[in-house]
Amino acid sequence: MAYKNDSFINTIELGRAIKRRREELSLSLRDVADVTQVSASTLSRIENGTGKPDADNIARLTSWLDMPVDRVMKKNGNEATIEPVIYYPHEATPEIVEAHLRADKNLTPETAKALSELFRVAYSQFKNPGK
């Protein structure tokens, strides 16, 4: 897969996804680095929005996140184009809901992010009602 990630990869979204998953699993940057073979310093830069991962690191990280790379691809900016929501059945419900919210043309990116976080909190509270 050859592409210039500056043009096509939304590293802010990738960083948010890594940080969120890392925190959900209570892992340190070093723990994630050991599993993904992406250095802790690179992971830190990606999480902070300053890193520019290469194609190999993008592949390793999206694999660890169990997320299709399409999820962190930049949109083409053409408002007339409807972007498909791509997910796999094994993805967690909050990830699928977030993808749908981000694809909703009626929501600003900030609103979609806020609604996604609200859903995550509610989902984590109510997913196991008997426990």
Taking only the tens place, the pLDDT of each residue in 94-113 is 888 888 888 788 888 889 88
Both 3 and 67 in one domain: the answer is: yes
Asked whether the predicted pLDDT for residue 4 surpasses 50, the reply is: no
Residues 10 and 57 in one domain: yes
Domain extent for 115: 78-131
Question: Is there a single domain that holds both residue 2 and residue 47?
Answer: yes
Query: Which pLDDT band holds residue 7 (cuts at 50, 70, 90)?
Result: low
Query: Are 31 and 4 found together in one domain?
Result: yes
Using CA atoms in the order 60, 124, 118, 113, what is the torsion angle rounded to 10 degrees? 0
CA separation (Å) from 87 to 27, 68, 79, 84? 24, 7, 21, 10
Same domain, 7 and 65: yes
Instruction: Report whether pLDDT(19) > 80.
Output: yes
Same domain assignment for residues 5 and 61: yes
On whether both 47 and 108 belong to a single domain, the answer is no
Q: Is the pTM of this model over 0.75?
A: no
Count structural domains, the chain: 2
Whole-number mean pLDDT of the chain?
80
pLDDT, tens digit, 9 for 90 and up, residues 43-83? 999 999 888 888 899 989 988 988 878 777 776 544 434 45
